[in-house]
């Protein structure tokens, strides 16, 4: 099964949103518990920030690739 670049970009975007929500939830719960700056929470938050950033960048790059491919296909059909 092959996945298109548009579908891959949507999956990366969905993963980035889910990780961002998870990060906010974790920080709020840790703050309410009083251990926001414990080592385990700090390391976990850094990991979530990295994953969220990676997925967001790949989603944007996937959308730009899709737009460029569509523009190239349009140019080919008009000539």
Closest to 13 (Cα-Cα) out of 47, 49, 52, 66: 52
pTM above 0.85, yes or no: no
Give pLDDT, residue 64.
85
| Residue 74: pLDDT over 90 | no
Task: Give 39-53 pLDDT, tens digit per residue.
Answer: 999 999 999 999 999
Cα gap 29→36, rounded to integer Å: 8
Q: How many CB atoms lie within 10 A of CB 37?
A: 10
CA-derived radius of gyration, the chain: 18
Please state, for a pLDDT cut of 70, what percent of the chain lies above it.
82
Which ranges in 1-79 belong to alpha helices (H)?
A: 5-33, 39-78
């Amino acid at each position: 099964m092959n996945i298109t670049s548009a579908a891959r970009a949507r999956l990366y975007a969905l993963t980035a949103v889910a990780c961002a929500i998870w990060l906010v939830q974790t920080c709020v719960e840790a703050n309410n518990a009083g251990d926001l700056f414990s080592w385990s929470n700090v390391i976990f938050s850094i990991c979530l920030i990295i994953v969220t950033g990676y997925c967001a960048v790949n989603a944007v790059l996937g959308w730009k690739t899709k737009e460029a491919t569509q523009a190239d296909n349009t140019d080919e059909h008009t000539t």
